[in-house]
Structure 1
């Protein structure tokens, strides 16, 4: 089942026929908002607003673990995150839609970034953090919707909530070889891998961050709002087409990520730990 995590400006899905709203408490706390289970174009999907109702949570305040755990517990097999980003490359102009292949973590340790620890040791491979099968499905959806989709780029995740300095923008662009900058996809992408979910992000480019010399091109909330609405409409066309496309099975590296990753033996786990680990392993 497909789950969609809506970012800035995407707090609900138009046309989603409500089946049930799940107000959950997970072993990792409450998700950002109740998870909406519904039907879109006859397909059962899940929807979760990353920032909560009224955009109440800043990026470092989002309970990413609870969000991913809740989606897995409710039966998700594939997760599509939707995020607004700044571009670090001229060839990715405002209005472009991008699906990153790699993620660079430039956050500052304010976020709980793993399900593991506190008595359970695991080391999950994230060398290739997105599911290529889901990316291929998204490419097909974009093609059928007549929307251009860029793939293969690197997303640099910063802590926020402030917008970055020009020095930071140049570091991400040059030293880290990032193509995009945002605030929300880490640790979301890595938690999805720990939960053995197929994951990728549909990024909506709203600005050029601040690496260009022209201050008129630098990111601001005002410029973000100017560009975002039109870009989101293109993104929704792709999502609508994806929902109507039969999903390919998650790649083996996604659905078997925990097979050899957990080092703590089952007999050393508490009943509570065993219970939530079984959800991730399912």
Structure 2
């Protein structure tokens, strides 16, 4: 089942026929909101607003573990996020749609990055952190409606909530980043720990602040000048995606915990076993 995680501006899912609503309470705390269970066309769909229904949560305040766990517990095997991003490359323009395929974690110690620890040890492989099948399906969906989507970008995640300095923006470019955002980490890695195929459709709002032209520097007001139009394009891509058969998640992703958990089963408590069994589904 496909789970949609709505980012800035995407607090509901048009066309979703809601069948049920599941509380976001999990063993890892409270998710950003209830998980909506419904249908769009022929597809069962889950939906969760990352920042809450009224955008009440800053990026570092989001309980990413609870969000991912709640979606997995509701039956998700794939997770498609929507995120506002800044561009670190001239050729990636405000208004573009981009799918990152690599990530660099530049966040600080204000985020819980893993389900594991506290007596359950695991080391998950994230060399290829996103699902090629899901990325290609979204790119194909864009192609069907003549909406170009750039793929293969590297997303650097920063903590926020402040917008960066020019020196920081230039440093992120030197690190090899193509995009900068505040929300995809640890979401992408937690999805892999939950054996879910993950991808993000990034909506480019600005050039961050690496350009010398100060009129191009990111601001909260500037983010929203193009954002409504870009978000509409992203919604059209999603409609195109859901009008066709969805991809199958890769078997390697669906089995990513097979050899990652190091703790012996008889050393795991009943409470730990309950949440671990959900991740292993």
1:104-119 to structure 2, matched below 5 A, reads: 104-119=104-119
Contact 2:24 2:67 in 1 (8 A): no
1:119-166: per-residue Cα shift (whole Å, max 9, x none)?
000000000000111111111111112210000010000000000011
Contact 2:206 2:217 in 1 (8 A): yes
Tell me which residue corresponds to 2:43.
43
CA shift, 1:92, in A, is: 0.5
1:146-185 to structure 2, matched below 5 A, reads: 146-174=146-174, 176-185=175-184
Instruction: Single out whichever of 20-29 and 152-161 deviates more from structure 2.
Output: 20-29
CA shift, 1:54, in A, is: 1.1
Instruction: Single out whichever of 105-114 and 135-144 deviates more from structure 2.
Output: 135-144
Tell me which residue corresponds to 1:211.
210
Q: Aligned pair 1:132/2:132, yes or no? A: yes
Tell me which residue corresponds to 1:74.
74
Contact 1:59 1:160 in 2 (8 A): yes
Q: Secondary structure at the match of 2:25?
A: coil
Tell me which residue corresponds to 1:243.
242
CA shift, 1:24, in A, is: 3.0
Q: Secondary structure at the match of 2:201?
A: strand
CA shift, 1:221, in A, is: 0.8
Tell me which residue corresponds to 2:21.
21
Unaligned runs of 5+ in 1: none
Contact 1:72 1:195 in 2 (8 A): yes
Looking at structure 2, the residues matched to 78 and 38 of structure 1 have their Cα atoms a distance apart, in angstroms, of 15
1:33-86: per-residue Cα shift (whole Å, max 9, x none)?
111111112321011000002101000000000000011111111100100000
Aligned residues: 281
Looking at structure 2, the residues matched to 24 and 157 of structure 1 have their Cα atoms a distance apart, in angstroms, of 25
CA shift, 1:109, in A, is: 1.3
Contact 1:145 1:238 in 2 (8 A): yes
Instruction: Single out whichever of 119-128 and 247-256 deviates more from structure 2.
Output: 247-256
Contact 1:137 1:245 in 2 (8 A): no
Tell me which residue corresponds to 2:88.
88
CA shift, 1:253, in A, is: 2.8
Normalising by the residue count of structure 2, what TM-score does the alignment of the two structures yield? 0.99
Looking at structure 2, the residues matched to 253 and 90 of structure 1 have their Cα atoms a distance apart, in angstroms, of 35
CA-atom RMSD in angstroms:
0.8
Tell me which residue corresponds to 2:274.
275
Contact 1:6 1:81 in 2 (8 A): yes
Normalising by the residue count of structure 1, what TM-score does the alignment of the two structures yield? 0.98
Tell me which residue corresponds to 2:226.
227
Looking at structure 1, the residues matched to 136 and 106 of structure 2 have their Cα atoms a distance apart, in angstroms, of 27
